[in-house]
């Protein structure tokens, strides 16, 4: 970084921190700190990167009073250190204390009926499908809506990760589902995005970074029926995506790895994939040596 300004160095450090694989920002931070050789620049980069990284990764933290967990996300962020947990109606100051949420920070009673019903159903799905998963549902638009007022929007978040440094691997699943509730049209529209990241670094460094987007809709009913329909849609879409990933993995050796090879090797002869099992490197070497 010779010749770079301090702000430029801090910006580069922040870039590396934000691109840390799931659960590995602490390890990346140690290396970044050594490269910078400046505690001041490191603190500048880390103070900007860590809050953004934590929200992007949607990490889940225990509430300081032990009453539950808070999902760190843009949807629940009141500022860089305060996060709303609607399940307990509290605001967590990461990671020191909690306080009751004010009425202004909570959705109206009508909106809360739908939000809490979806939250309960989503929690059942996450407990079933993600052993280390967390979820939350926030009102992200129209939180003051009443029965005859404007439409409102709920956002359902799912976050799950598995970190195993001793096995040189880590991975995360993050999904965000926007739920548009339109009382006038009597409809509920869903648009979702799933982000999967996996990192394997034993004697190498391989990452999977992939996204999925989906949408669907259902009819507006009472809160419990809407919650059941919404979570069934989420379950169906995410299961469909997971099956597509498994199918892709099963085709890695037959398709993807072949595409990684050059179309025509330096020998100018195409590789005989259909006869690959009949080839023997030792036989070829022996033949060449005997000439």
Alpha-carbon radius of gyration of the chain? 25
**In the chain, domain spans:** 1-57, 59-106, 107-252, 258-289
- Residues in Cβ contact with 51 at an 8 Å cutoff, skipping those fewer than 6 apart: 80, 81
- pTM for the structure as a whole: 0.80
- The token pair at 229 is 């329909």
CA distance 5 to 3: 7
Q: What is the mean pLDDT of each run of 10 residues along the chain (291 residues)?
A: 80 93 90 90 91 90 82 90 91 82 92 96 96 93 80 96 88 96 94 93 83 96 96 97 85 62 60 56 54 54
Q: Are 146 and 110 in contact (CB under 8 A)?
A: yes
Fold of 1-57: Ribosomal protein S3 C-terminal domain (3.30.1140)
Q: Which two tokens stand for residue 38?
A: 């400046």
**For residue 268, what pLDDT is reported?**
62
Same-fold call for 1-57 versus 107-252: no
58 contacts 71 by C-beta, under 8 angstroms = yes
Instruction: Tell me how far apart the alpha carbons of residues 43 and 47 are, in angstroms, rounded to a whole number.
Output: 6
Q: Tell me how many degrees the CA angle 134-137-139 measures, rounded to the nearest 5.
A: 155
Q: Which CATH class is domain 107-252?
A: alpha beta
Structure tokens given for 146:
């009443």
Q: What is the pLDDT of residue 148?
A: 63
Contacts of 206 (CB under 8 A, 6+ apart): 199, 200
Helix 109-129 with 223-250: angle, nearest 10 deg: 30
Phi/psi at 22 (5° precision): -55, 130
Count the alpha carbons within 13 Å of 260 in the hemisphere toward its beta carbon. 6
Gap between the Cα atoms of 247 and 129, Å rounded: 19
Q: How far is CA 155 from CA 58, 59, 136, 212, 230, in A?
A: 13, 16, 8, 17, 11
């Amino acid at each position: 970084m010779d010749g770079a300004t301090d702000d430029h160095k801090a910006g580069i450090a922040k870039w590396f921190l934000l691109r840390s694989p799931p659960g590995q920002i602490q390890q990346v931070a140690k290396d970044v700190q050594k490269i910078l050789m400046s505690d001041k620049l490191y603190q500048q980069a880390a103070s900007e990167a860590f809050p953004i990284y934590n929200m992007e990764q949607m990490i889940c933290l225990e509430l300081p009073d032990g009453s539950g967990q808070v999902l760190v996300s843009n949807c629940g962020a009141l500022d860089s250190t305060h996060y709303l947990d609607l399940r307990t109606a509290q605001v967590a100051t990461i990671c020191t204390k909690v306080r009751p949420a004010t009425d202004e920070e909570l959705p109206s009673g009508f909106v809360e009926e739908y939000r809490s019903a979806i939250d309960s159903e989503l929690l059942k799905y996450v407990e079933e499908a993600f052993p280390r998963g967390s979820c939350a549902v926030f009102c992200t638009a129209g939180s003051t809506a009443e029965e005859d007022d404007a439409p409102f929007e709920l956002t359902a978040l799912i976050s799950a990760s598995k970190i195993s440094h001793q096995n040189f691997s880590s991975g995360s699943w993050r999904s965000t589902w926007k739920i548009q509730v339109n009382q006038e049209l009597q409809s509920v529209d869903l648009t979702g995005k799933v982000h999967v990241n996996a990192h394997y670094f034993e004697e190498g460094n391989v990452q999977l970074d992939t996204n999925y987007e989906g949408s669907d809709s259902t009819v507006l009913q009472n809160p419990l029926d809407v919650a059941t329909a919404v979570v069934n849609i989420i379950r169906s879409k995410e299961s469909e995506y997971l099956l597509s990933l498994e199918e892709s993995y099963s085709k890695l050796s037959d398709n993807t790895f072949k595409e990684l090879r050059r179309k025509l090797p330096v020998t100018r002869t195409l590789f005989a994939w259909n006869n690959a099992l009949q080839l023997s490197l030792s036989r070829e070497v022996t033949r060449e040596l005997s000439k």
